[in-house]
Amino acid sequence: MRLLFIFALFTTLASTSQAASFDCSKATKPVERMICETGSLSTLDEQLAGAYKSTIKTSRPATGTDTSELLKSSQQRWLRTTRDACKNVQCLENAYVGRIAFLTQWNEDTPANSKLDGNYEFSHNMEFANGKHAIVQDCLAIKSLGNAQAQVNTILVQSNGHNCSLNGKFAMAGNVYSYLPEKGEHDFQNCQIKLTVKQHQIVLSAEGDGCSSRCGAQASFANGASFLRADKSKKACVAD
């Protein structure tokens, strides 16, 4: 009987250490131990990890803009501010179910007639020429004007802190906004800038030879950008 008990205990510990998407034998946070000790949470954690990996693989949608860094930043923030803040199983189950839905909707178009007016940001780490690092913010502001048009201001912080900004009108067609160059804007003759609105993100993409020269040698719209729709900043984005 003693040998059977020891074997059963070893089997239980072994299966527990393999639960969830991480090594439970190395769990240090209370929330991690709760996940490892609760079967339903372990299953949800594995499902979340699968959804995250799948979404990362498809984070370069038809717009051509890579949104993987935005997704990674969003996931890290969710772990820190939502999952790790839970104190009980029900809170964690709700958090996981909501996050899995968020990930599966990542590349889905926004529903028709969604209200988009507001200020959005994406924080990212910037390395400067002197070797120093700093957290900088790309920002985007949208204000509907009527007649299927919107005023859009955006500032992208790029190589060595150089900015690329745009302040102008966009034509709306479904979930795609297209920039309407003003007369005399010759640097946009060969650059088409679009905003594609997804369920949880807004993706800026640019196509054409002129996109690389719009803002100088160290900044451009050529690589596109992305913004979390949940990142509504209190300070408006004001382009030059």
Q: Is 98 helix (H, G, I), strand (E, B) or coil?
A: helix
Confidence at residue 103, expressed as pLDDT on a 0 to 100 scale: 92
| Contact status, residue 148 vs residue 232, Cβ threshold 8 Å | no
Q: What angle do CA 6, 9, 13 make, to 5 degrees?
A: 140
Q: Return the sign of the alpha-carbon dihedral for residues 34, 53, 133, 78.
A: negative
% residues pLDDT > 70 (the chain): 82
Residue 68 scores a pLDDT above 70:
yes
For residue range 78-107, list pLDDT tens digits in order: 999 999 999 999 999 999 999 999 999 888
Confidence at residue 188, expressed as pLDDT on a 0 to 100 scale: 67
Assign 36 a pLDDT band (cuts: 50, 70, 90).
very high
Confidence at residue 1, expressed as pLDDT on a 0 to 100 scale: 43
Residue 18 scores a pLDDT above 50:
no
Confidence at residue 232, expressed as pLDDT on a 0 to 100 scale: 59
For residue range 38-48, list pLDDT tens digits in order: 999 999 999 99
Residue 240 scores a pLDDT above 50:
no
Instruction: For residue 28, give the nearest of 84, 93, 96 by alpha carbon.
Output: 84
What is the rounded average pLDDT of the residues 44-65?
A: 85
Q: What is the mean pLDDT of the chain?
A: 82
Residue listed under structure tokens 């690092």: 133
Confidence at residue 222, expressed as pLDDT on a 0 to 100 scale: 83
For 55, 69, 109, 191, 233, the CA distances from 228, given in Å and listed in that order, are: 15, 11, 14, 24, 11
Both tokens of 105, joined, read 């909707």
DSSP readout, 11-68?
A: HHHHHHHT-SSS-GGG--SHHHHHHHH-HHHHHHHHHHHHHHHHHHHT-S-TT----H
d(CA 106, CA 100): 10
d(CA 90, CA 86): 9
d(CA 170, CA 152): 7
Confidence at residue 16, expressed as pLDDT on a 0 to 100 scale: 41
Instruction: For residue 121, give the nearest of 135, 137, 106, 136 by alpha carbon.
Output: 137
Confidence at residue 170, expressed as pLDDT on a 0 to 100 scale: 95
Q: For residues 119, 125, 130 and 132, what is the CA-based torsion angle, rounded to 10 degrees?
A: 110
Confidence at residue 162, expressed as pLDDT on a 0 to 100 scale: 85
Q: Domains, the chain, ranges and CATH? A: 25-104 (no CATH), 118-228 (2.40.128)
| Contact status, residue 179 vs residue 166, Cβ threshold 8 Å | yes
d(CA 69, CA 57): 12
| Contact status, residue 40 vs residue 95, Cβ threshold 8 Å | no
- Identify which has the larger pLDDT, 185 or 137: 137
| Contact status, residue 41 vs residue 96, Cβ threshold 8 Å | yes
pTM of the model: 0.76
User: Side chain identity at 54, as an amino acid letter?
Assistant: S
| Contact status, residue 238 vs residue 211, Cβ threshold 8 Å | no
Lowest-confidence segment of 25-34, 67-76, 91-100, 186-195 by average pLDDT: 186-195
